[in-house]
A and B are shown apart, each in its own frame.
Chain A
């Protein structure tokens, strides 16, 4: 009898899962479409006055300056850990002299930009979405509109532009501090001087490593902020929605960072082959 009930209920469960899946797919496409539309609106409005320079500078300070400590300390730890983890293997093959160049290329090309972007997705992306969502819930965005200010220009364009400009700066900072952490380990473990370490790093690093990494950082910054702004601007369901919005912004922007990184690596690879 029990097995008959189970057999009969399977199609119902499958239908339920199918419905949930279809809803998920639909939500994915709707969100993708809306974020694209939001991005298009950004490019349509960013070039035209009025320009909110004061707010842009404020946001550059908040996004850039206020993230220095977190990005710096994470970068430093990242450099130390990467060197400590890699060193035994290189020592085993008698290749420890390759450490600076290997760590340098890994940090500058990949680890620096991606880790910095993920930290910013957590700190900046969630901050922007929670701030805008709470402004929406408390009618502050409406109040702005009523006072004759375009909230999209004042809130979205300034934040997205600031994040796009500041992320590459943070990435360079994270790279430098990270290499500093790696140099410290090399000095303590292998007696390599700071000068020798950085000479080795720059011997193998070239513009082909640095420029693609900087360019993709602009895209990371843009993606993180546009998703944060989109989620904040379209937030609903009151104060409960504020937390949910911040969470969704972090998830989507982190995913976007990996997708953009994948595309960037593919494109860079084409250029390397040429």
Chain B
């Protein structure tokens, strides 16, 4: 979290974002700001465009219209080289972990480091960095295992370690607790909190898991019909009488 008295700078600014796939208009004028050190969750129903939104932020999907600035740079206007440079500072945790099946856990974590030698500052060896990142998610013992030997929760943790290894300024989480049982889901949510406080990165968490949103974030944005319908803290939204908000928060 930003220190009191300091004005937090926006790291992601989205204005009037539109994205369609044929006749399916997924995002229709979405506005959003993520400030330095802030943790924000975007809640929405399945198919509401949450995953499309973060894939647009990282440049995996091209937007149709609107403004999108990440770390002060307009993503749609960036060349491939400039986009790769931005991606060094933006971590992405995929919904299914997306670990490389043909590589061991160690090789999975080394992969981004080999691409970005400049991130290997401070004389720390690659092995040391890998061990540190794995240790921060409590899975140092899995170093030489293959992804197929890990459980769903372990895969998510290793994927989180891989995201953290480049020490990004922003971390985008796509359904971090998706497909996990409630206990493991809660463990992952607390782990996200731990790493957020350790690495001081801003986080945008795409989820429909209210427990995860409550544990990890200080602001929630509800995405409905392609727009940011409402936003507020968990408690504020929990007490809202709005029908759409209540659909998410009803007990």
Contacts and interface: CB of A to CB of B under 8 A. Distances in A.
Contacts, number: 47
B96 A139 contact: yes
A233 to B, nearest CB: 15
Given A134-B101, A140-B101, A142-B60, A147 B112 contact: yes
A142 B112 contact: no
Contacts of A139: 94-96, 98
A142 B111 contact: no
A94 interface: no
B60 A146 contact: yes
Interface residues on A, range: 10 to 19
Interface string B93-114: 0111011111000000001100
Contact of B92 (A131, A135, A138, A143): A143
B181 to A, nearest CB: 20
Interface in A146-185: 146-150
B98 A142 contact: yes
B128 to A, nearest CB: 19
Given A147-B111, A147-B115, A149-B115, A140 B87 contact: no
A102 to B, nearest CB: 45
Given A142-B60, A143-B92, A148 B98 contact: no
Nearest to A145: B60
Contacts of A134: 101
A147 B85 CA distance: 10
What 3 pairs between A and B have smallest CB-CB spacing?
A143-B98, A147-B112, A139-B98
8 contacts: A138-B96, A139-B94, A139-B95, A140-B98, A143-B94, A144-B111, A145-B60, A146-B60
